[in-house]
Each structure stands twice: as structure tokens, then as C-alpha cells.
Amino acid sequence: MPIVEAIIISVIAASTPLLLAAAGELVVERSGVLNLGVEGMMIMGAACGFAGAYLSGSTFVGALCGIAAGMALSFVFAVLTLGLAVNQVAAGLALTILGVGLSGLIGAGFVGQKITPAPHLYIPGLSDIPVVGKMLFAQDGFVYFSVVLVIGIWWFLYRTRGGLILRAVGDSHTSAHALGYPVLKIRLMAVLFGGGCAGLAGAFLPLAYTPFFIPGMTAGRGWIALALVVFSSWLPGRLVAGAYLFGAVSILQLHAQALGLGIPSQLMTSLPYLATVIVLVLISRGRGSTGSVAPASLGVVFVPDR
């Protein structure tokens, strides 16, 4: 039982950064913008988040620094793609390269340093319930916030006028513009929101997952988050299931290595990314039965009439 409990808690921790980053990217893509720079924003969030927490002694300040770093990098992306109408795929890839380089520069002086990880909630009686207690009542604030974030995004997209307008912009920016909606402003807000979520996801890694910073510690999680948005068919509910599925694959491959099953460690390490490729292939083959399709204007540059 303790092993099962430890595995479940590890899966939740591994899934949280994926859920945070993917939730933000879902909103971005719902607005019709494809930002492939999630990995770069995450690693910048990790570097700035750790630096902020280390210098201030506050996890909360570190989280805010991570959010700010992600939003700053996403603003650069917005200027290029929304202001200058640069190709979104090229700009997103460039953003990742920029983020990786800047994070190495910012975090160079903090490598080898440690901080106190984010505190976990403890409710006497409830937190002591076997398995369920630690899973539901003994997590850190990032875990609870990720769940609240997804619920809030679902409510916004499907229960508010603003969410309807955002989805309309993503489905047909030309029609939305003709109706008088500020397409570029709406997309700018969505891009900044997605950047903040990616930065927070990156900050989670050194602030709660491991209490130190190392270059490249996101280890491809940004790319998995991008795949999760497709896996979820751009639906918040499916996004949660997908994030925890991929988190489980990441953790179970570590336990499989610990058991000494004789499978090469390189193959086990590649399992999360192999699962990503398989899921994308299956989604593409069964596009008609997924219950949702990509926003029609996704990745299409919009230049308003002058």
C-alpha cells in the first residue's frame, strides 16, 4: 500500500506541470494562435522562478517571477506574430531556442543552490487517510491551482460571452473582425495568458518538484504539453485525463527501471515521447470521431483591413 500511495503522489506531481502548460496553450490555440514556444517559456519560468524564490526566500514570489518570465517571452512572440504577421511556427520555434539560451544565462549563477520546496497542505485527520488523504489533502498549492485553472478555463470558454467570442475568433477571425471584435487584442490576451501558465508550469519544477535548478530541466515537457492539447481535442475535460495519463507513463517507466526488468533504460526514458507520437497518430486517424476539431483559423496569420 505505501508503494501504491507513493506512485500516485508521484504521478500527480509529474502531471501538474503538463496540465498547467497545456491548459494555457489550449486557450491560446482556441483563439487561433499556434505557439510552439511552450518549452522555451517553461524553462524561462523555471530559471526566473528559482532565482526569484532563492533571492526573496518566498515560493510565492518565485511563482510570480516564473509567470512574469513566461508572459514576457510570450509578448515577444505576440509582437512577431500578431504585430508583424510573422509565421507562427517559425516564431514559436525561435522562441524555444531563445528561452533555452536565456534560461541558461539567467540560471548559471544558481546551479547547485537549493531552496525550501513549496509547502504541502496538511489537514489533521483528513491528510492521514491512507492513499486518499495524501492524494487529496496533502498536496502543494500548484496542484490545487492546476485543477482550479482547468475548471475556470472550462467555465470561461463555455459559460461566458468572452469565451464564446474567443472561440469565434479562433474559428473565423475574418467573421469576428467583421462583427467588430478586436481580433488582435483578444489573441494578445490569450497569448499572454498561455505564456503565464507555461511560466508557472516551469516554475513548479524547481519550486516544488525538485528544490534546485539545472539547465534544461523541463526535459521536453513543453512539447508534451503541446501534444496534450491535440490529444484532448481542444477540450478542457480531456486535457486533465491526458495530462495524468502522460504523467503516469513518465513515473511508471522510472519504477520499471527500478525493478530491473532488463529493458534498456534509454527505451524506458523514451516511453513518454513514444506515447506522444502514438497518441497523435491515433487522433489524426480518428479525427472525425474525437468530438471536436481544431479551430479553423489555427495558425493562420490575421492582418486587419486598413
Confidence grade of residue 135 (pLDDT, cut at 50, 70, 90):
confident
In the Cβ-directed half-sphere of 112, how many Cα atoms lie within 13 Å?
Answer: 2
* 273: number of Cβ within 10 Å: 17
Q: Report pLDDT digits (tens) over 156-208.
A: 999 999 999 999 999 999 999 999 999 999 999 999 999 999 999 999 999 99
Spatial separation of the C-alpha atoms in residues 174 and 155, rounded to whole Å: 25
Question: CATH topology for 2-119+141-289?
Answer: ABC transporter involved in vitamin B12 uptake, BtuC (1.10.3470)
pTM to 2 decimal places: 0.92
* Per-residue pLDDT at 270: 74
Q: Report pLDDT digits (tens) over 257-273.
A: 666 666 676 676 677 67
Q: Is 35 exposed, middle or buried (0-12, 13-18, 19+ CB in 10 A)?
A: buried
Q: Backbone phi, then psi, for 281, in 5-degree steps?
A: -65, -45
- Residue 120: strand pairing partners: 140
Q: Backbone phi, then psi, for 213, in 5-degree steps?
A: -115, 135
Domain locations in the chain as residue ranges: 2-119+141-289
Q: Report pLDDT digits (tens) over 21-74.
A: 999 999 999 999 999 999 999 999 999 999 999 999 999 999 999 999 999 999
